[in-house]
Amino acid sequence: MTDTNIRVVLVTAPDEEVAAALARSVVEAGLAACVNRVSGVRSVYSWEGQLHDAAEVLLVMKTTAERLDALTSKVEEEHPYDCPEVIALPVVGGAAAYLDWVRGQV
């Protein structure tokens, strides 16, 4: 497995308005090269002792390992949830030109 230094970061948002604002904010700040908004996600989770089944928007953010902490902090600052999902996954390969573009954007 090869670490490309690129990270895919998953973040859920409660609605399209919040998702759009978060996506724009992290890209404008140079913390993510690109954010995909995936509508129609249903999340089932336990929070404060209660089971929830909620509609959410999944954000798929592309960044670098060096910018991950700053990206995480920005999401935590701007997100309306008390405990927002921010999960980073390593990218182990892909199109070289795209990976170079991501590095160049952030």
Look at residue 67 and tell me if it is in a domain.
yes
Say if CB 6 and CB 103 are below 8 A apart: yes
Pick the closest to residue 55 from 40, 66, 38 (CA basis). Answer: 40
pLDDT tens digits for range 39-86: 999 999 999 999 999 999 999 999 999 999 999 999 999 999 999 999
Task: Report d(CA 61, CA 47) in Å as an integer.
Answer: 24
CATH number of the domain enclosing 19: 3.30.70.120
pTM for the predicted model, two decimal places: 0.95
Let me know if residue 1 belongs to a domain: no
Q: Specify if 27 maps to a domain.
A: yes
What DSSP character marks residue 98? H
Residue 15 in domain: yes
Query: Per the domain annotation, does 77 fall within a domain?
Result: yes
d(CA 32, CA 48): 31
Which tokens belong to 64?
Answer: 């670098």
The number of distinct structural domains making up the chain is 1
Residue 38 lies in a domain: yes
Domain extent for 55: 6-105
